[in-house]
Amino acid sequence: KTNRPLGTIDLHGRLDQTRLSEPLEDSRFHYGFNITFLKTILHYWRHDYDWKKQVEELNKYPHFKTSIEGLDVHFVHVKPTQPASQCHIRPLLMVHGWPGSFFEFYKIIPLLTTPRQGRDNRMEAFEVICPSIPGYGFSDAPQKRGFNTANAARVFYKLMTRLGHSKFYVQGGDWGAVIGQNIAQMVPGHVYGLHLNFFNNQQGIRPWLSLLLGQYLPSLFGLTRIDVQRLFPFMPNFRTMFCESGYMHIQATKPDTAALKVSYKSSSWLYLCRKFTLEDLITNVMIYWITNSITSSMRMYKETLGKGLNVPGIDVPVTVPTGLTVFPNEIVYAPKAWLKSHFHNIVSYSYQPRGGHFAAFEEPVLLAEDVWKFVRKAEAVPSFH
């Protein structure tokens, strides 16, 4: 548990000595992090933010560490209030991304662990396990090169089996989505189902042809009306994605030379939907600050993207029941027609009315409801076991 304000004296000194340049007029976030908004954050962080209060918030759920492959792996583990004798409990592994943390799931955890009535009037709930990816937050950072999403998937599979779950559900976004896919690819017999709020698949020629011709011949490529609305015109969408992914290109090549940018991605993407409070933002940044893990967290980009998202050895389709949900402010959009070649068992593909990349943080109710619906759809299939 975190029970003391580590590094806050040094942090306050650095905040007091921060020197900022003046922003261009009406520059908003077009030149990077908006300086005017940054001044607001720094003032709140230095004078109003209460780290001790947030430590109490972080400690409201049980925290644990266990050694796996020589790494101390941190995880939050929350069980339902009702015992298994009175409630059908499903184990659920939830994996964060960058620059996120286990804290992303604090709002959604009670929506999943609180029992609700299910089929046959039996109460149902999830047992939620939220680990910190090695190199992030309170999990040890790998000291050797090559630790990518496949390695994290193997570590988390071992974590779940150590907790007594030979089979479980997986949910994730950002890197958590890739790690979740890797688990489903590596040990499909141990995964009940996979739920993702971030996904993309542009492999093969069909997706690229659909980007060229799909606006004019959508039915030829299996594109729906919604697909056409979200994909086209293509160039403005591509420009937005290109401009918002600069951090990824840097971290995929020279992560150790990157400056502290953790707040940029969080706030710039979430600024669009106005769902991220300064307190939430800073608490997430503080988890990186007090553990000095920002550099080690960035290395995942180089270790994984340098080899392509399909890590060698597990370049196989996902065959487990899969639920995919689309949030409108997500920077990447992939039509269902593109995904069928990779996800062979799509049980649900849904659209959300609002929200973005950090779905569990921004819209926990919407994400939780989609997880519930997906699981019930998956388990209603006669072949489910």
Domain at 228, CATH number: 3.40.50.1820
Domain assignment present for residue 347? The answer is yes
Rg (CA), the chain: 21
Catalytic residue (one of 74, 96, 342, 357): 357
Evaluate whether residue 248 is within a structural domain.
yes
Is 185 a member of any domain?
yes
> Taking the CB of residue 339, how many other CB atoms lie within 10 A of it?
20
DSSP state of 252: T
Residue 219 lies in a domain: yes
In a domain, 385, yes or no: no
- Give the range of the structural domain holding residue 331, as residue numbers without chain letter: 8-379
Give the type of residue at 286.
Answer: M
Strand partners, 348: 323
The Cβ of residue 64 has, within 10 Å, a number of other Cβ atoms equal to: 14
- Assess if residue 126 is contained within a domain: yes
Active-site annotation holds for 349: no
In a domain, 3, yes or no: no
Per-residue pLDDT of the chain (385 residues; tens, 9 = 90+): 444 445 566 888 888 888 888 888 887 777 777 788 888 888 999 999 999 999 999 999 999 999 999 999 999 999 998 888 889 999 999 999 998 999 999 999 999 999 998 877 789 999 999 999 999 999 999 999 999 999 999 999 999 999 999 999 999 999 999 999 999 999 999 999 999 999 986 667 777 788 877 788 788 788 888 988 888 876 565 555 555 555 555 555 555 545 444 444 544 444 444 567 889 889 999 999 999 998 899 889 888 876 544 555 567 899 999 999 999 988 889 999 999 989 999 999 999 999 999 999 999 999 999 999 999 999 998 777 6
- Catalytic one of 169, 301, 333, 349: 301
Non-local CB neighbours of 295 within 8 Å, separated by 6+ positions: 255, 256, 258
Other CB atoms closer than 10 Å to residue 307's CB: what's the count? Answer: 14
Whether 2 maps to a domain, the answer reads no
Element (H, E) at 169: strand 168-172
d(CA 172, CA 267): 20
Residue 279's CB is within 10 A of a number of other CB atoms, namely 16
As a whole number of angstroms, the distance between CA 52 and CA 233 comes to 48
Cα separation, 248 vs 251, in Å, equals 5
Could you tell me which residues come within 8 angstroms of residue 346 by beta carbon, excluding any fewer than 6 positions away?
322, 323, 324, 336, 339, 340
Query: Which helix or strand (DSSP H or E) is residue 245 part of?
Result: none
To the query of whether residue 301 is one of the catalytic residues in this protein, the response is yes
Positive or negative: CA dihedral 93, 319, 198, 350: negative
288 is catalytic: no
Task: Report the number of distinct structural domains present in the chain.
Answer: 1
